[in-house]
Every structure is written in structure tokens, then in C-alpha cells.
Structure 1
């Protein structure tokens, strides 16, 4: 909230200074400072803070030197010199406020980026501590697959996909998690939720018969906790040859077809 108020305050002051600058232009002919200021503000929008600060210093000093030479060359009156000083101060204030606004907005943007990355990291942790996030699940299964290949073992994947008509998907996913934790070996088989609609169980060192038996035990546990007659999901037992990700993608392609 403070950052929002700070941005709003800087914006209002900037508009106020710009309005006063327009009022000064009505009193006198446009000076080169105005034609330099507008492109300079545009350029500052695309540069970083250090370069913008150098432009700010260069413009302020250069504009002051320009008005000094102009006053001396035209033998300006006291009134004209006061007008030059006023224009110099307003133009310098405008570019300074714009620099402050850009610096402030850039800090807000960087903090927002940091918080976004932080949220993505925190989203990697599941609400159920025993359930791996999908990225952790892929890393863990890749590690298990590497060992299984050396030992010439086979692995299977139980893939559950909620039906579009399923209601209360979050509760169903929690039910599947609880059933999986009761049936499968916590330190041997791994589970994860790919998204809000897909639940994955990786079974290592088993064959087709063993995978089907494990699947039936899992469905029996799910059935004991459900009140509906029909399952609100589709389930498949798939052999994992290369990786879990490749197996799931291949299954997605089959579903699309």
C-alpha cells in the first residue's frame, strides 16, 4: 500500500510540474529545452537507473549552461533572466521527478518479479507433505529410472485422470492421496498430482501382474472411502520405458486422437 501511495504521489507531483510548465510556455515562446526534454523522457523509459541518472545530470547542467549563454548573448533583461531560471527549474524538476518515478516503478517491478518467483517456488510444495510436487516427482522418478536401467528392472505408472463431469475435484484429489498413502510403500513408490485433473503413482521394480494387483488394491481403498457407485476418474496402468514425462505425453497424444 505504501508503494502504491508513493507512486501515486510522484505521479501527481509530476503532472503538477508538467501543468505548471505548460503554463510557462503560454507566457513565452517554446525553448529548445522543451524539444529536448520530451525525447529525453522517452529515452529514459527504456534505460536503466544508472544511465538515466547520468542523463539527468547532463541535461540539468547542459540546460543551465544553455540559459547562461542565452542570457549573455541576448543581453536579456532581469525579467527574461527570471523566466529562464524558472524554465530551467521546472524542466529540471520534471526530469528529476520522472527519474524518481521510473526508479520507484522499477523497484516495484523487481520486487513483483521476486515475489512471483517466490510463489512459484512455494507452489512446488504440496499441501500434503507426503505428496511430491510434479517437478520433484519427475526428478525423483528420473533418478529411480536410472537405477532401474542398471539393474534391468521394469517400472509402471498408474495414471488417473478426473472426468470433466467430476464435482469437487480438490476433495477427490485429497481422497486419492490418502488412499495412495495407505496402499503404497512410502519410501519406495512415489506419487504426485500433475495438475488439478491428473494423479500419478510411480511403481518401481514390478511387472504387469504386480502393477495390476497394486492398482486393484488402490481402487479397493478408494472405493471404501467413496459414496458414489461410479469412479469420477479414468485409470490406466502404463509401462514406463524412457521417462514418466514421455509416458504421460504419449498418453496425452493418445487421448487427443
Structure 2
């Protein structure tokens, strides 16, 4: 519907702009100059300002034609060409104003969609965890920063146990990721889940003691949702020295 309206506006503008060729040479050149000048100005301003530009141009041009008619003693039938010139310019500028408005709206909509796509690429909107590419990108940056500060970091790998029913894994995964996100530090630590059975937690500036505290917190919060004797996840942890190499090992294991 939006595109159809834009096509109709282009058609209307093309017709009115094309009819300028039927006017005497002086009128046609003035019209082209005014339309092009208005177009250039409208590119740089908002819709409301552009409407004022169009309205001012139409009014000033109308007064100009009136003064010209009086100076040249153009009356009765001779004024029809002036009226036609003014109507054509009015239609051309108004349709151009609508075109510029619609094109700008389309550009803004595309920018908004691109931003949303960018966010979708960074997050898994079902679980609110980071996507794996975003997890790796941020993790490598944090790893570099920790190395400069001579800090340690930990990577915790949670892998769901085979004893957990397949029908329960999806809901367990959602709750577990949510628990992880509320347990770790929001601005410092990272959480991702590349599959239904796996969750990675990146702890920045943390040693084994800090890691143990995080795991205990996770266990306590998970017990509020799941009645279990043992945690339904196998836990493996690594000291972060080369995050890329560690994650490549998991990729190889999945491919094996």
C-alpha cells in the first residue's frame, strides 16, 4: 500500500512537471528552478519545515505572478496562462513534498529494521542470552582487556544430563538461562546457549573461589523451580587463557 501510494505520487509529480513544457519558455524555466531549489531544501529539513517551504514558495510565486500581471497589463483571458502556471507549480510542489516525506519515512523504517535485525543477531530473544557470535566477539574483547590488567577469568560449561527428559529440556533451559542471567554480573559476565542442552557462562575477573560462589547461587535458585537431588547439568570449567581455542574444542566434539 505504501509503495503504491509512492508510485502514484511519482506519477502525479511527473505529469505536473511534464506539463511545464506546455507553458511559455520563461514560465517553464522558472518552474524548474523553483522545483529543483525546493527539492534540495527539502532533503535537509523535516516534514513540517518542508511544508512551510512549499507553502511559502507557492504564496510568494502567486504574489509574483499578480505583480507581473499588473506591470504587464495582463487582464481577462491573458491571466489564464498565469493561473495555469500557478496551479501546476502548486501541484508539483505539493506532490514533491509528499514524495520526500514518504521517502524519508521509508528510509527511517529501513534503519529501524536494520537496528532490529542487528539486535536479533546479538541476542536469542526466546532466552535473552547472547547469540554465539556475539558471545565470542564480546568474550574475545574481554579476554584481551583482562590480559592487559593481568586478571583471571573462568568459563563454565553446563551440559544437561541424559536423565533429563527431552520434553522437559526446553523449559529447563529457559529457566536455567534466566537464572544465570540474574546470578552473574550484568555488565561484566556473559551467557550463551548454542543448543538446547548447553549453556556457557563467561565470568570476567573471577578465580575458582568466585566461580564456586556463582555455581552455588545457581543451584540454590534452580531448586526453587526444579525439585532435584543433584543438579541436572554436568559442569565443566576452564581458566580463560585462549577462549577461541576452548570453544573450537567444543565445536570439534559436536562434529565428532
What's 2:22 paired with?
A: 23
Q: Aligned to 1:55, what secondary structure does the other structure show? A: helix
Structure 1 residues 130 and 11: CA distance shift in structure 2, 3 A:
closer
1:83-137 C-alpha deviation (Å, 9 max, x unpaired)? 0000010011111100011111112222222222223333333277385335578
Structure 1 residues 128 and 55: CA distance shift in structure 2, 3 A:
closer
- 1:154 deviates by 4.5
- 1:74 deviates by 0.6
Contact 2:21 2:28 in 1 (8 A): no
Q: Aligned to 2:202, what secondary structure does the other structure show? A: strand
Structure 2 gaps of 5+ residues are 163-175, 185-189, 210-236, 245-256
TM-score (norm 2): 0.55
Residue correspondence of structure 1 range 85-234 to structure 2 within 5 A: 85-126=83-124, 129=127, 132-133=130-131, 138=138, 154-157=152-155, 180-182=159-161, 187=180, 192=192, 202=202, 205-206=207-208
Q: Aligned to 1:192, what secondary structure does the other structure show? A: strand
Structure 1 gaps of 5+ residues are 159-176, 208-236, 249-257
Structure 1 residues 23 and 193: CA distance shift in structure 2, 3 A:
farther
Q: Aligned to 2:23, what secondary structure does the other structure show? A: helix
Contact 2:54 2:93 in 1 (8 A): yes
What's 1:9 paired with?
A: 8
- 1:49 deviates by 1.3
Contact 1:154 1:206 in 2 (8 A): no
Structure 1 residues 43 and 127: CA distance shift in structure 2, 3 A:
closer
1:53-105 C-alpha deviation (Å, 9 max, x unpaired)? 11111101001101111111110143321000000100111111000111111
- 1:30 deviates by 4.1
Q: Aligned to 1:32, what secondary structure does the other structure show? A: helix
Contact 2:135 2:191 in 1 (8 A): no
Contact 2:153 2:240 in 1 (8 A): yes
What's 1:64 paired with?
A: 62
1:15-72 C-alpha deviation (Å, 9 max, x unpaired)? 111111222246x664634433322222222222122111111101001101111111
1:191-215 C-alpha deviation (Å, 9 max, x unpaired)? 5379xxxx976376449xxxxxxxx
Query: 2: distance between equivalents of 1:41 and 1:88?
Result: 18
Q: Aligned to 1:126, what secondary structure does the other structure show? A: coil
TM-score (norm 1): 0.55
Contact 2:123 2:130 in 1 (8 A): yes
Aligned residue pairs, count = 184
Contact 2:152 2:240 in 1 (8 A): yes
Q: How big is the alpha-carbon RMSD for the aligned residues of Structure 1 and Structure 2? A: 4.4
- 2:16 aligned with 1:43: no
